Amino acid sequence: MIKLQVNGVVLSTMRLLLNDKKKDKALGYLTKYVSTLELELNKSVARGLSVLAWRFKCYDLALSPLHNVGGQISPLGGIRVHKWLLINGLNLIDDKPNIRKANNFTKEISLVKFTKLVKLVEQNCLANLRKMTASQFNHFLNTPSPDDIALYQPIIDEANNLSKKQRLIDYDVVEIDVHSLENYIRMIVAGQYNLTPLQEETNARQAISILRIAQLNNNLLPQKKKRSEFGRIYYEGHSVQSVHKTLRKAMLGTSFEYDAKSCAPNWKYAFAQDYLNSINSIASVGDEFYGTEHYLFYKKEFYKQVIADTFDSESTWSEDKKTEKIKETMTSLSFGAKMVEATWTSSNGVQKQTSIMDIFKFPDERQRFLKSPSVVRFKLEQQVLDNYISETFRNKYPDIDSLKILKSQSGRRSQPKVIAWLYQHAETHMMNIVRDELRKLGKTLLANVHDAVVIREQLTQDEIKVIENEVRYRTAVTNFSLGETPYP
């Protein structure tokens, strides 16, 4: 929890300017506003700081709740407290954010700094947790504070006060393994995970928030659905989707994740023969799309070759880290990332760069990766399939071109967005089939993570084949397959 300590000059000036002789109205206005600000700040921190927020010591904060529910000053015609503080130079939040402003188009919220009139007291930061004695830390883990209850109970009540039918529509509820989660927090505090300082702090905050909700709600975490126009279901606030994989495993305890292997490239690959037929080619799919087949069917060899092309003998990365970087980049390329080095300034004034540059920080490694024959061929084939899939669906469903979400800020149709929109709808359809088959098999579905599900029981090989064959039959994605990852 973060508590805000407001400089006394704010209240005294409010009393003076509002002619508050009884000295109670100004206090009421300020208390409500600060409480709202604290609530939104703690929600933001619990979700996890963005890299920009961490780098610039700022906070990702939605300002609309401060305007809407932060209170009004009734004697002045109902002016918002937030606006009144700004007008009178008593604002607690910097009114001139120069890093990132809220953007309705990208759905980004503001990145804000606090003024010198307020001090942030972080109670649950790792530094404080690491100073606690064993008994103090045990008490902290096991006992939600009054502040915890004030913060999390409204989130719980919002879900629990709905009818059962409506709750099923609006929420996915996850059962949390509290004991496993407590052990995870202990290990984070002890520094036993190989995480960056940002990941440690973020994971600890999120784990504590999820633990508190579970403790106050019979070990259940309500995840409020946030349906994307692209076809996926996301969640607002705390969820299995928004946390680091180590925390997800701890939340769910002993269980099994089944993910669709290389889901996007496999989906595109299903169109390869249709593409060849459309151009009257007599070439086989294997001859024309050997780069994609190399990636899909001989992945270990593919990674080995690209790693050899990318990293020289001076690289200090472990083999696992090298593979992780290649895998991350290939996933990015599958979703339309460009094989270029470029930087630009966004509409919010933030310096951005291509995903290739984000992943490969060293220019020499980046250049070698971009020149890898296996990567070049894979990307070329992906572009061919992207063009074919995009045009095929546009011809069949011309209304696609009228969808605003598939256009760039300039108003032009964005092919990467079209492909993402088509793929994510296909992904949702495939995973819905997986979920239906799991229910038929009597399995306990714990969580959904886009192209993956987590269930309590382990599937047999025969059960996996039944599910894969059903998806292949109903979607024509003939190479659909599931990979298994045990938790924790």
Q: Which pLDDT tens digit goes with each residue over 404-455?
A: 888 887 778 888 889 999 999 999 999 999 999 999 999 999 999 999 999 9
Is residue 50 within 8 Å of residue 59, measured between CB atoms? no
| Domain positions in the chain | 2-122, 126-231, 263-336+362-487
Q: 103 in the Ramachandran plot: left (φ > 0), alpha (ψ -120 to 50) or beta?
A: beta
Report the pLDDT averaged over residues 254-270: 96
Q: Is there a contact between 342 and 333 (Cβ–Cβ < 8 Å)?
A: no
3-state secondary structure of 256: strand
Structure tokens at 157: 């009540």
Q: Is the pLDDT of residue 257 over 90?
A: yes
Average pLDDT, stretch 257-267?
96
Q: What is the CA radius of gyration of the chain?
A: 26
For the entire predicted model, the pTM comes to 0.81
Mean pLDDT of 328-351: 76
Phi then psi for residue 433, to 5 deg, are: -65, -40
pLDDT at residue number 23: 66
Question: Which segments of 282-354 does DSSP mark as H helices, in order?
Answer: 285-288, 290-297, 299-310, 319-334
Q: What pLDDT sits at residue 97?
A: 54
Question: What average pLDDT does range 22-50 have in this prediction?
Answer: 81
Query: What pLDDT score was predicted for residue 99?
Result: 56
Say which DSSP state 2 is in.
E
- Rounded to an integer, the average pLDDT of 459-466 is 97
How far does the chain reach from its first CA to its final CA, in angstroms?
28
Name which of 357, 374, 375 is nearest 365 in CA terms: 357
Q: What is the pLDDT of residue 106?
A: 46
List the single range of 96-100, 155-159, 349-353, 368-372 with lowest mean pLDDT. 96-100
Residue 347 has pLDDT above 60, yes or no: no
pLDDT digits (tens, 9 = 90+) for 165-189: 999 999 999 999 999 999 999 999 9
Q: Which residue has the higher pLDDT, 309 or 353?
A: 309
Indicate the length of the chain as a whole number.
488
Helix (H) or strand (E) holding 257: strand 255-260
The verdict on whether omega for the bond into residue 488 sits within 30 degrees of 0, i.e. cis, is yes
224-240: pLDDT as tens digits: 998 888 989 999 888 99
Distance between CA 217 and CA 176 in Å, rounded? 10
Q: What's the pLDDT at 43?
A: 78
Among residues 178, 362, 174, 386, which one has the least CA distance to residue 268?
386
Share of the chain above pLDDT 70, in %: 93
| Matching residue, tokens 């599958």 | 334
- Output 193 or 106, whichever has higher pLDDT: 193
Distance CA 384, CA 289 (A): 10
| pLDDT class of 291 with cuts at 50, 70, 90 | very high
pLDDT recorded at residue 51: 67
Cα separation, 135 vs 140, in Å, equals 9
Q: Which of 63-77, 273-287, 362-376 has the lowest mean pLDDT?
A: 63-77
Average pLDDT across the chain, whole number: 89
With tokens 């995480």, the residue in question is 195
The Cβ-side half-sphere exposure at 409, using a 13 Å CA radius, reads 7
Round to whole Å and give the CA distance between 337 and 355: 7
Pairing of strands 445-448, 351-353: unpaired
| pLDDT at residue 465 tops 50 | yes
User: What would the pLDDT profile of 74-125 be if each residue is shown by its tens digit?
Assistant: 766 678 888 899 899 999 988 665 556 544 444 456 778 889 999 988 878 8
